[in-house]
Structure 1
């Protein structure tokens, strides 16, 4: 079981189209298993999970380094890396997260990440001009 998976919150939302998951990660200096840095462990996790994402017709939209907190309290928002991953549905995301294959890959995520938040976001048709 994955700690802190808010399955009920996701199931309570409409699931009638794609969802993008905003991933915010802070890495450990050293991997918990002693096998390289936190970044190294995260790369091992990524190599395993990209297959799981693609198997559910998901895709990585964007990744990048978090450089600085431009607005907010820096100590409360310490992130090293950001990724946007699109899934065809919330159900597809939950299916991946609850799979035995993800549980195996999650060991590397836990080895590498001191903190990792995933926020479900949906596009809006609101226009700001």
Structure 2
């Protein structure tokens, strides 16, 4: 199903608002990555694969007022809010697990892997638009030394 020009304008505005709220890159999607998501047919489910490497100590902005903690604890703060927010937009988890290792291909070093599925691209956008999710995202950024997030239309 293609997107009408009017609907595309609305989607573009949503992306602009998300970029204004989160910024680009450095642990959040860049404009080109948002636009790639918008190329997924609007009624196709979207599966997201997340790979996380935690910092030994979370790196919060000193002005945040957050209590110092480990990267794993900061990620738990994020998960406490993000999991219900994911379900609220119609998503669900397929996998939450410690990273076991590489089986084929280059060796990689991750701490945690999460696979989630959404009913469509609009649900992914709705998650990032959720105010509670937006506010908890600082914990994810503070927690992660690096992360890789891949999406698959399925």
8 Å contact 1:7–1:94 — kept in the other structure?
Answer: no
Q: Secondary structure at the match of 2:82?
A: helix
Mapping 1:5-84, distance limit 5 Å: 5=29, 6-33=33-60, 35-74=68-107, 77-84=108-115
Unaligned runs of 5+ in 2: 1-20, 61-66
Q: What's the offset of the Cα at 1:38?
A: 0.7
Q: How far apart, in 2, do the equivalents of 1:88 and 1:73 lie?
A: 32
Q: Secondary structure at the match of 2:110?
A: coil
Bigger mean CA deviation after superposition, 58-67 or 26-35: 26-35
Bigger mean CA deviation after superposition, 80-89 or 63-72: 63-72
RMSD (Å), alpha carbons: 1.6
Q: Secondary structure at the match of 1:72?
A: coil
1:114 aligned onto 2:141: no
> Which structure has more RCO (C-alpha within 8 Å, separation ≥ 6)?
1
Unaligned runs of 5+ in 1: 124-129
Structure number with higher helix proportion = 2
Bigger mean CA deviation after superposition, 63-72 or 6-15: 63-72
Q: How far apart, in 1, do the equivalents of 2:122 and 2:140 lie?
A: 21
Structure with max Cα Rg = 2
TM-score by length of 2: 0.71
